Amino acid sequence: MKQTLFLLLTIAMLASCKSDNSTASNTGTASTDNGFETAKSAYETTPDRTTASAYLAEIIKKVSEKKDDKASVIALATTGYDVAKEQNISSRARGFLFTLLKEDGGHADTPKRVLDLANEMAGAKRPEMANIFYKSLIENYPNSEFAKEAQAKIDPAVSNLDTYILNIGENIFKGDVNKIGINRNAALKYVDACEAFGLVFPKAEKTPSYLFRAAEIAKSINTFPKVLSLYDWIIDRYPNYEKTPTTYFLKGFVLENDLQNDEKAKEVYEAFIKKYPNHELRDDVDFLLEHLGKSDDEIRKIIESKQQENES
């Protein structure tokens, strides 16, 4: 039903709660810090894959905690990549490289990082991302040693990236499709391609559109963490993109209806109203806020009741 509607106590107690929450919060932070330092010390003492894996897990937690502190995220990701590369933990290396390219794309080491990530993706049998990374080196750093290596490794069929990504996208509706006509494997490749483009061509006019399309495809196959990360990418980096207000709306809708997180959805809806008070979606957001947490049946009864009042 919501899918359809989407379309058409004392001061002392409070003080006590606040004190308890503060204590719990501080304890949690201390615990996290201790875990990080313990894992770091263990790795520095005995640098092997076991201690590295534990240290990298703590670094990832720390990155999440410091997500609004760009300098800390970059420093942590740099350390994480160095450790992952030293211990040949490829999956972690790819993740940290992705973060470094996204958060520190202007760094002098960017061409090398792009090549490293391209090679990592090629090794992980994700050629769509690898080819786009190779192509970006050829276009953005044409006279560099990195471009020469990229030229030797790129699929010769990749000449125009827009055409390349379009061809990947056309496969979404072919072959082994699910009940709504989506080929999951092809969809994942398309999302990969759009993310790769956004990572190495962040200032291109078409980048937010690619990210938006990727989010919609990711939603169609229910990969909701990816959906939210793509929505946040658009919201954080492309505030002037014509579909950024819609992205806010869709983020709230996913949180509410797909992830059943009414608290987070409420935050997003309220942020939308504050940022876009006169947007054409304002009435829809007001409706969703007013009925947040209500079941489809409850909403149906409310609408029927209002219809009866209007008729009488």
Cα separation, 116 vs 276, in Å, equals: 41
Cα separation, 137 vs 111, in Å, equals: 7
Nearest by Cα to 93 from 153, 155, 49: 49
Cα separation, 144 vs 114, in Å, equals: 12
Phi/psi for 294 (5° steps) reads -85, 150
Residue 298 confidence (pLDDT): 75
62, 39 contact by CB (below 8 A): no
pLDDT tens readout for residues 16-42:
444 444 444 444 555 567 899 999 999
pLDDT tens readout for residues 180-210:
899 999 999 999 999 999 999 999 999 999 9
Contacts of 133 (CB under 8 A, 6+ apart): 114, 115, 117, 118, 121, 150, 196, 199, 200
Cα separation, 194 vs 120, in Å, equals: 17
pTM, two decimal places: 0.85
Cα separation, 312 vs 308, in Å, equals: 6
Cα 77 versus chain centre, distance = 16
Residue 312 confidence (pLDDT): 60
Residue 155 confidence (pLDDT): 96
Cα separation, 31 vs 26, in Å, equals: 8
Residue 156 confidence (pLDDT): 93
Question: Across the chain, what does the average pLDDT equal?
Answer: 89
Cα separation, 129 vs 196, in Å, equals: 5
Nearest by Cα to 170 from 135, 129, 217, 202: 217
Residue 294 confidence (pLDDT): 81
Q: Along the 312 residues of the chain, how does pLDDT read in single tens digits?
A: 455 444 333 333 333 444 444 444 444 555 567 899 999 999 999 999 999 999 999 999 999 999 999 999 999 999 999 999 999 999 999 999 999 999 999 999 999 999 999 999 999 999 999 999 999 999 999 999 999 999 999 999 899 999 999 999 999 999 999 888 999 999 999 999 999 999 999 999 999 999 999 999 999 999 999 999 999 999 999 999 999 999 999 999 999 999 999 999 999 999 999 999 999 999 999 999 998 988 778 777 777 766 766 676
Residue 32 confidence (pLDDT): 63
Cα separation, 96 vs 79, in Å, equals: 9
